[in-house]
Chains A and B, each alone.
Chain A
Amino acid sequence: MEAPNAPPETSDTLEASSRTPEAPGPPAPPVSVLDLTPTPPQDPAASLADAPPDWFHDLHLDDIEAALTAGREDFELRPFFRSPLTSRDAIVYRHEVFRDLERPEVRATITAFAERMAAMRGQLARANKVHVDLERQRWLLDAAGTYQEAVERLQDGLAATRPDARGLRRLGAFLETYVAGPSFADLGRDISTVRAGLDGITYRLAISGGQVRVSRYEHEPDYGAHVLATFERFSQGATERYMFRSGQGQDMNHVEAEILERVALLYPAPFAALRTFCADHTDFLDPTVARFDREVQFYLAYLEYLAPIRAAGLAIAYPEIDEAHATLDVRSAYDLALASLRVGEGATVVPNDLALAGPERIIVVSGPNQGGKTTFARTVGQLHHLALVGCPVAAASARLPLVDRIFTHFEREEDLQEQSGKLEDDLRRIHRILDEATSRSLLVINESFASTTLQDALFLSTEVLRSVIACGLWCVTVTFLDELASLGPETVSMVSSVDPDDPTRRTFKVIRRPADGLAYAMAVAEKHGLTYAQLTGRRR
């Protein structure tokens, strides 16, 4: 099979058509799939300064963020994961987009768009890097072609799949106008004309010694095919192809450039059209399309992160956001960061329920060590943060108050030099938190004051918790002090539990019941024959 040898000869038709300048109109409002009330797009670098929130590390949100943004560094998605939203509607606005993207046909459309845009960026980067003009021009043409295809397919896809999300509907409306507009139409026509010209070229090289002769290709047989055909009769079945590594580098070298110049001399018209195209279309990328390209990565990244977790059978829920702060009710919640790790290892995690109603505001978690207490507390914090940034959460269902801030007070790494100052440091931190917190905040405390004496710890912890009660904020506290569990109607006791048949085995279930710190110790003692009854042979 020979390639058609028909380079377009009429150079006039290849000139990019002169375009009418667009009439200046009122600037269209910015379109964002992340922000309900978008501000004009800003330089991603400007938001780089956003430091992670104080609670980020304690709740292992930094692990989640790292996994989410891996491979997407160029989009600088971190600010979106770090900045809590402040209204229920802003959160729902993102839920809508997530829900649409969970529809396979919408997802496919968006993923295909994102892939094309990534390819386009790669081509643009090459255009900016290379030195040979005829090469640079081609990269630009191909980048424009990829972009044009990305936009057209996106518009078609959105029109066909009819998303419900306000954000995506706004985008669809924008694309409809943009694609129908004159500049986009010009771009598409010029791309296909110039490409057809270049694709029609077939040239011939005759290499001998240090010399290469470049000429137009006239019909000639494929000699490789001829050789194969001659010996095909011996074939006893399929054989493998021989592949040879090309000695040619990644970039065009000067000999290739010399050859290309001669090809351009042999076929002047298509190359003239390419030159004109580049002059006319340097800035083909529309800012709104570029903004969408970046913002939609937020959703794709999160959904990709969830996929293996869901595949392992763990539930994901869209939280109901309670602006009235009446209840907190979550079913089958789990630590998302831990689940991501465990699922990767083929293991799973244990989900837990929690609910606070009426006057209840504080969950006091006690029970055996290594029983999942800290994980439970962290889970509650994660749920709230992820809900605040508009994401579905790691639970079967969730009704959460719209908190204004999250505070964490976790044991800091032991620092030997600072041993004496540790208690003071702990107290200073908790004091600052209580100053800043409002009745609409969430506080997660993990084993505070564990490094002091029991008497001190009990006193300090009781005082702190009384302040928390007075402040009225939502709180989860992990403690070894049973007494904290019954400070008042605001506190709810939850206990990490063990397997009744084998008390040494943790179930990682944290369930609502009175603190009973001794039950576990007694069970272990019994297993080793050390209970009173066992040792004395009689009942107490």
Chain B
Amino acid sequence: MKAHLLYRDRDLDLGAPEPPGSADLVQDLELETLLAAMARGDAYLNDVARRAILAGLDDPAAVRYRQAILADGLAHPGLLSELYLLAVETIEAEKRIWGGFGLSAQSVLRRSVQALELFAGQLRRLRAIADQRAREVESEGLRTFFAMLQDQLDDAYLAGVDEHIERLRFRYGVALSARLGPANRGADYVLRTPRRRRPSLRERIGLGDGKSYVYQVPDRDEAGFAALSAIEERGLGLAADALARSTDHILDFFRLLRAELGVYVGWLNLQARLTELRAPTCLPEPLAPGQLDLETAGLYDPCLLLVSGQAVVGNDVAAPGRALIVVTGANRGGKSTFLRSLGLAQLMLRAGCFVAASSFRADLRTSLFSHFRREEDSSLQSGKFDEELVRMRAIVDHLDGGSLLLLNESFAATNEREGSEIARQVVHALLERGVKVCFVTHMFDLADGFWREGRPDALFLRAERRPDGTRTFRLVEARPLPTSFGQDVYRRVFDLPREAAVVPGGG
């Protein structure tokens, strides 16, 4: 029985390592803010949300499989959380079963029987939900899941589970078969079906078919009783092993169910919060890798919204067939925010989640990396530029032709001429390998160099600045300009009028 709510044909791998570069992405895209909104303080939800968002899909059908389940969740409020809470409750209740001290066969068996009683009840509840909701849902994932519950947990099966619970109490002793091992001692013990009913009087007094011999441990022979129960424990050990492994299986089922449902519960939490803040969300349109495309309206950074709580500016971008997006323009004009919103949208798209935009269509990239200029990396001895190059080297080692690379003021830790030259060589090499690059830079020499190449696969966006110096935080398609408008910031911070600009070389 597989829940398969995240993948049509496999489980969420809770032990999988995060893809390379994840730590940088989390930091650069401020992903913790997004995860916190999904988790609402629940560390477990935070963990599964993180796994799901970082381990993206590159098959549009797989993405749509999740989107459909998410759509069911949005259409039937309470459905996914009811299932999720059932799984959580089961796992928590199992944890509370007192196992006694030590790990003897007896105590493991007793605990496992209790666990099995708990599971039997919860499985009946799960069946009931399936019976009730199976016809409401439309997604392939939930339909299959409910059908599986109805099929695998039918009444006959649940009755069989009850019978096992009864026999495994061993009310009427333990039956074993054995062979002769070394020293003619018992070996290859196999547990035989325990009785459900009391043996008959004839059986009890040893009358019978003449093919059995009874040994009764004499009263007061304590060593004898201990020796006999040691053999009995062999049988109980076999039962305990089989049962404990069985209850482990069932527990694993609930655990995985919890994890997979937890991903959707987190997304629904985030969706509810964004809706509260009156921000739009949409189910994006995934395109197959290689179909270079990007078309979005109202793309915003949900993290910025969650932190500020105030309406943020969305961007409209159309970049069909573009492998290189160069973002230039005014300082504090929304360049980094745009880069983050693009990265988050790609991550959420790949995860099968909704996206923070009014509409979004893009090709699925096989992996995602970020290389942001780090402002405070004082712990590193090797020097900033060296550190930048070390990070870039590590990223390049993991890039493949389907990757998306987000560069934010990379190579700016040295002088512009050197930085530009290195950046130019790196970007050209990556583009030739098929990597999609979005580069935020204030280096005019670099950005304008790309412009002058006249590449058809490049898009140039510029942070908009009105003639009066105010920012719209909106990006427009435009050729890079030779200054970055740092004066404007200076002026505003120092509360200077525009005419009073005294910065050398400004204006």
Interface residues of A (CB under 8 A from B): 3, 126, 130, 134-135, 137-139, 142, 198-199, 201-217, 220-228, 230-237, 239-244, 246-248, 252-256, 258-260, 262-263, 265-266
The CA-CA distance from A126 to B216 in the complex, in Å, is 28
CB-CB under 8 A from B248, the residues of chain A are 239
Say what secondary structure dominates the interface of chain B: helix
Q: Are A256 and B227 in contact (CB under 8 A)?
A: yes
CB-CB under 8 A from B253, the residues of chain A are 234, 236
Q: Are A235 and B172 in contact (CB under 8 A)?
A: no
Q: Are A260 and B241 in contact (CB under 8 A)?
A: no
- Check if B507 is an interface residue, CB within 8 A of chain A: no
CB-CB under 8 A from A231, the residues of chain B are 246-247, 249-250
Q: Are B241 and A247 in contact (CB under 8 A)?
A: no
Q: Which one of A203, A207, A213, A236 lies within 8 Å of B231 (CB-CB)?
A: A207
Please name 8 further chain A to chain B contacts, defined as beta carbons within 8 Å, in addition to the given A207-B228, A217-B177, A234-B253, sorted by A numbering: A214-B215, A221-B193, A228-B242, A237-B11, A241-B245, A244-B105, A259-B186, A265-B213
Say what secondary structure dominates the interface of chain A: mixed
Which of B177, B240, B250: most chain A Cβ within 10 A? B177
Q: Which one of A130, A205, A236, A253 lies within 8 Å of B223 (CB-CB)?
A: A253
Distance of A122 from chain B, by nearest CB (Å): 11
- Check if B504 is an interface residue, CB within 8 A of chain A: no
- Check if B252 is an interface residue, CB within 8 A of chain A: yes
Q: Are B241 and A224 in contact (CB under 8 A)?
A: yes
- For A212, give the chain B residue with the smallest CB separation: B215
The CA-CA distance from A223 to B164 in the complex, in Å, is 10
Q: Which one of B11, B185, B199 lies within 8 Å of A236 (CB-CB)?
A: B11
CB-CB under 8 A from A217, the residues of chain B are 177
- Check if B470 is an interface residue, CB within 8 A of chain A: no
Q: Are A138 and B229 in contact (CB under 8 A)?
A: no
The CA-CA distance from A233 to B240 in the complex, in Å, is 18
Distance of A200 from chain B, by nearest CB (Å): 9
- Among all A-B residue pairs, the 3 with the closest Cβ atoms: A208-B173, A231-B246, A215-B212
- Check if B239 is an interface residue, CB within 8 A of chain A: yes
Q: Are B105 and A256 in contact (CB under 8 A)?
A: no
The CA-CA distance from A133 to B195 in the complex, in Å, is 34
The CA-CA distance from A241 to B108 in the complex, in Å, is 12
Q: Which one of A209, A233, A241, A255 lies within 8 Å of B241 (CB-CB)?
A: A241
CB-CB under 8 A from A126, the residues of chain B are 183
Q: Are A235 and B249 in contact (CB under 8 A)?
A: yes
The CA-CA distance from A258 to B215 in the complex, in Å, is 7
Q: Are A255 and B224 in contact (CB under 8 A)?
A: yes
Q: Are B192 and A225 in contact (CB under 8 A)?
A: no
The CA-CA distance from A259 to B167 in the complex, in Å, is 25
Distance of B111 from chain A, by nearest CB (Å): 11
Known A206-B173, A207-B173, A255-B215; judge A234-B249 contact (CB<8 A): yes
B window 122-173: CB within 8 A of A: 152, 160-161, 164, 167-168, 172-173
The CA-CA distance from A206 to B192 in the complex, in Å, is 9
Distance of B3 from chain A, by nearest CB (Å): 9
Would you mind naming 20 contact pairs between A and B with Cβ atoms under 8 Å apart?
A: A139-B183, A201-B180, A202-B177, A202-B178, A209-B173, A212-B231, A215-B213, A220-B193, A224-B190, A224-B191, A227-B164, A231-B249, A236-B11, A239-B245, A244-B233, A247-B229, A248-B231, A255-B224, A262-B215, A265-B213
Q: Are A224 and B227 in contact (CB under 8 A)?
A: no
CB-CB under 8 A from A213, the residues of chain B are 206, 212-214
Q: Are A244 and B173 in contact (CB under 8 A)?
A: no
Known A204-B192, A215-B212, A246-B233; judge A255-B245 contact (CB<8 A): no
Q: Are B246 and A262 in contact (CB under 8 A)?
A: no
CB-CB under 8 A from A262, the residues of chain B are 213, 215
- For A263, give the chain B residue with the smallest CB separation: B180
- Check if B471 is an interface residue, CB within 8 A of chain A: no
CB-CB under 8 A from B239, the residues of chain A are 223-224, 227
Distance of B167 from chain A, by nearest CB (Å): 8
- For A264, give the chain B residue with the smallest CB separation: B184
Known A202-B177, A207-B173, A227-B242; judge A266-B213 contact (CB<8 A): yes
Distance of A274 from chain B, by nearest CB (Å): 8
Q: Are B211 and A266 in contact (CB under 8 A)?
A: yes
CB-CB under 8 A from B168, the residues of chain A are 227
- For B171, give the chain A residue with the smallest CB separation: A208
- Check if B490 is an interface residue, CB within 8 A of chain A: no
Q: Are A135 and B183 in contact (CB under 8 A)?
A: yes
CB-CB under 8 A from A260, the residues of chain B are 184-185
CB-CB under 8 A from A202, the residues of chain B are 177-179
- Residues of chain B at interface, number, CB under 8 A: 73
CB-CB under 8 A from A137, the residues of chain B are 184
Q: Are B240 and A255 in contact (CB under 8 A)?
A: no
The CA-CA distance from A258 to B173 in the complex, in Å, is 19
Q: Are A233 and B152 in contact (CB under 8 A)?
A: yes
- For A258, give the chain B residue with the smallest CB separation: B215
Known A223-B239, A239-B249; judge A199-B180 contact (CB<8 A): yes
Distance of B113 from chain A, by nearest CB (Å): 11
CB-CB under 8 A from A244, the residues of chain B are 103-105, 108, 233, 237, 240-241
- For B181, give the chain A residue with the smallest CB separation: A138
Distance of A166 from chain B, by nearest CB (Å): 39
- Check if B256 is an interface residue, CB within 8 A of chain A: yes
- Check if B225 is an interface residue, CB within 8 A of chain A: yes
- Check if B174 is an interface residue, CB within 8 A of chain A: yes
- For B234, give the chain A residue with the smallest CB separation: A246
CB-CB under 8 A from B217, the residues of chain A are 210-211, 255
The CA-CA distance from A259 to B256 in the complex, in Å, is 47
B window 239-270: CB within 8 A of A: 239-250, 252-253, 255-256
Q: Are B213 and A228 in contact (CB under 8 A)?
A: no
- Check if B433 is an interface residue, CB within 8 A of chain A: no
CB-CB under 8 A from B242, the residues of chain A are 223-225, 227-228
Which of B226, B241, B250: most chain A Cβ within 10 A? B241
- Check if B176 is an interface residue, CB within 8 A of chain A: yes
The CA-CA distance from A52 to B224 in the complex, in Å, is 53
The CA-CA distance from A12 to B246 in the complex, in Å, is 48
Q: Are A224 and B238 in contact (CB under 8 A)?
A: yes
Q: Are A205 and B176 in contact (CB under 8 A)?
A: yes
Known A203-B178, A208-B174, A214-B212; judge A230-B231 contact (CB<8 A): no
The CA-CA distance from A100 to B214 in the complex, in Å, is 59
The CA-CA distance from A487 to B103 in the complex, in Å, is 80
- For A215, give the chain B residue with the smallest CB separation: B212
- Check if B480 is an interface residue, CB within 8 A of chain A: no
Q: Which one of B178, B180, B249 lies within 8 Å of A205 (CB-CB)?
A: B178
- For A267, give the chain B residue with the smallest CB separation: B180
Which of A142, A199, A243, A253: most chain B Cβ within 10 A? A253
B window 259-290: CB within 8 A of A: none
Q: Are A199 and B191 in contact (CB under 8 A)?
A: no
B window 192-223: CB within 8 A of A: 192-194, 199, 206, 211-217, 223
Known A207-B174, A231-B246, A252-B185; judge A198-B231 contact (CB<8 A): no
The CA-CA distance from A522 to B304 in the complex, in Å, is 78
Q: Which one of B172, B182, B228, B252 lies within 8 Å of A210 (CB-CB)?
A: B228
The CA-CA distance from A243 to B244 in the complex, in Å, is 11
- For A203, give the chain B residue with the smallest CB separation: B178
The CA-CA distance from A370 to B256 in the complex, in Å, is 67
Distance of B498 from chain A, by nearest CB (Å): 66
Distance of B12 from chain A, by nearest CB (Å): 10
Known A207-B174, A224-B241, A225-B242; judge A234-B1 contact (CB<8 A): yes
Q: Are A214 and B183 in contact (CB under 8 A)?
A: no
Q: Are B108 and A242 in contact (CB under 8 A)?
A: yes
CB-CB under 8 A from A253, the residues of chain B are 223, 227
- Check if B428 is an interface residue, CB within 8 A of chain A: no
- For B245, give the chain A residue with the smallest CB separation: A239
Contact with A along B1-38 (1 / 0, CB 8 A): 11000000001000000000000000000000000000
The CA-CA distance from A212 to B206 in the complex, in Å, is 11
- Check if B232 is an interface residue, CB within 8 A of chain A: yes
Known A239-B245, A255-B231; judge A204-B240 contact (CB<8 A): no
The CA-CA distance from A199 to B190 in the complex, in Å, is 16
